[in-house]
Amino acid sequence: MAASTSSTGKRIVFTGGSGKAGRHVIPELLKRGHKVLNLDLAPFPFPEHDVYTIKTDLTDQGQVFNGLTAHYNMSGYELPSNASPPDVVIHFAAYARNMLVPDNECFKGNTLSTYNVIEAACKLGVKKIIIASSETTYGVCFSQGDVDYHSFPLEEDYDTDPMDSYALSKLCGEQTARTFARRFNVDIYALRIGNVIEPHEYERDFPTHVGKPETRKRNAWSYIDARDLGQICDLCIEKDGLGFQVFNATNDTITTTVPTAKFLKETCPDVPVTREMGEWEAPLSNRKIREVLGFKEEHDWRKYYKP
């Protein structure tokens, strides 16, 4: 059985930790007392955090099983017993969007790796699994041409109907998670991650995000600070007993200088609004993670960019 490093800290295997989101999420998890092993094809880019990476092809189930039962660094061989499965698996590894590889390869790689990670974790007795889904499942981000959302706000019960292979792979990942959560009676939480913003990107990108909102429709004028995503992962670790869940992983507010209701009425006049929204609430709403997990954002975009 898996064992914690302390009363609160968990042993976590994190896939894709060297990527754009993972390289900021992992330091947040370390700050909260967790111990992390990274499974990735590239080394962890911040050596000051001393995160060990095992180069792992997640489409190979044998490598996945071995990665989930590996030591967290070379000093593990000094311990009296072999490595055991982790307390938590966080699966972020994927082709990050379309057009990196052919569409069929994107779909195959993302769905197969997600299946392999979830199956291996469940069969090894891991009771908490967190996977990365995507804002693209709401069907606008990579759709062909200019299409509208069905309604606002975008919440977890939305009728997801994307056109593209990447988003389809994420929906398949969510269904895989639901299947295994039911079969093994474990918690698997799927995070529909918004547009990930790294700390250095506010100064570089937010003049466009805020100053040219017509360019941000595909992200529903919403975002997630990569460090706040780390907090969300920690909150998911702490919250037990929910079975399969989908959570939007976004920050609180819309990335415009116009309040939400007025902006949506002017920009998307034909899209219905199904409930009253907060004055500055992000259209890709994080209400569920605030109410269910207790998320309180630390990195409001206005702290870093003044329009």
Print pLDDT tens along the chain (307 aa).
343 333 479 999 999 999 999 999 999 999 999 999 999 999 999 999 999 999 999 999 999 999 999 999 999 999 999 999 999 999 999 999 999 999 999 999 999 999 999 999 999 999 999 999 999 999 999 999 999 999 999 999 999 999 999 999 999 999 999 999 999 999 999 999 999 999 999 999 999 999 999 999 999 999 999 999 999 999 999 999 999 999 999 999 999 999 999 999 999 999 999 999 999 999 999 999 999 999 999 999 999 999 9
CA dist 220 and 268 (Å) reads 11
Residue 249 within a domain:
yes
Query: How far is it, in rounded angstroms, from Cα 15 to Cα 2?
Result: 18
Domain contains 210: no
Say if residue 57 is exposed, middle or buried (CB neighbours under 10 Å; 0-12, 13-18, 19+): middle
- Token digits for 184? 């093994």
Residue at 304 is within a domain: no
Q: Is residue 235 part of a domain?
A: yes
Global pTM exceeds 0.85: yes
Output the 3-class SS for 80-127: CCCCCCCCEEEECCCCCCCCCCCHHHHHHHHHHHHHHHHHHHHHCCCC
Domain that holds residue 141: 11-199+223-253+283-299
State the greatest distance between any 2 C-alpha atoms of the chain, in Å, as a whole number.
66
Residues in the chain: 307
Q: Does 263 map to a domain?
A: no
**CATH number of the domain encompassing residue 184:** 3.40.50.720
pLDDT at 299: 98
In a domain, 93, yes or no: yes
Beta bridge partners of 54: 39
> How many domains does the chain divide into?
1
Dist. CA 276–CA 265, nearest whole Å: 13
pLDDT value of position 8:
77
* 233's tokens: 């992962």
Domain-located, residue 96: yes
1 lies in a domain? no
